[in-house]
Amino acid sequence: MALLKLRYYPDPVLKQKAKKITMIDSSVRKLAQDMLDTMYDSDGVGLAAPQIGVSKRLMVIDVAGEEDAPKPIIFINPEIIESEGESELVGQEGCLSFPDVFFEVKRARRVVVRFQDLRGKTLKLAAEGNLLCRAIQHEIDHLDGELFIDKATSKLKADLELTKHGFMEGDVEQMEEALALQAPAPVAEAVAPL
């Protein structure tokens, strides 16, 4: 078990588009296992290679509950080939590259992703209206150099969370006052960081 060093915002690797993996060999298999170990150790449900400083199109996800047996999925060169219900699925998201930061993000309700597994076999997986659907979109965003902070339903709420946790400068009290003036929104349950 090798734990890898997580990269935190504003590390530049998080904004770079990851490179396609052309050969699936023992180094890719070891990286995938180390990423799973790191994700589990950090209590996450997803991790993309850029989050550990590797600019490769590799991500791992396991949305099994704490009391269930692990069900990891390793995605090599994933791409979303179908997307439905754009911006219909709203819910709390967190990110291992932004510890303790959570806010609402809009995602597609249903996606179909094409990817390769560790044997190089091309597979398709559909996910709809669940944590797996959200995690796939979140991690593919990482591979494309996009971050969940850019997809927040409320920029003010996202900025407040980022400021509270030291990721940006600002006046927390002033932001909270501005937020209080806005109409209250229903509170969604937080999920594990992706």
Tally: H helices and E strands in the chain: 4, 7
Q: What are the structure tokens assigned to 138, written together? A: 């979140």
Pairwise CA distance, residues 69 & 73, whole Å: 13
Q: Which helix (H) or strand (E) holds 123?
A: strand 122-128
The catalytically annotated residue of 139, 146, 169, 173 is 139
Q: What are the structure tokens assigned to 2, written together? A: 């090798």
What are the phi and psi torsion angles at 9 (to 5°)?
-60, 135
* 139 classed as catalytic: yes
Provide the annotated active-site residues.
139
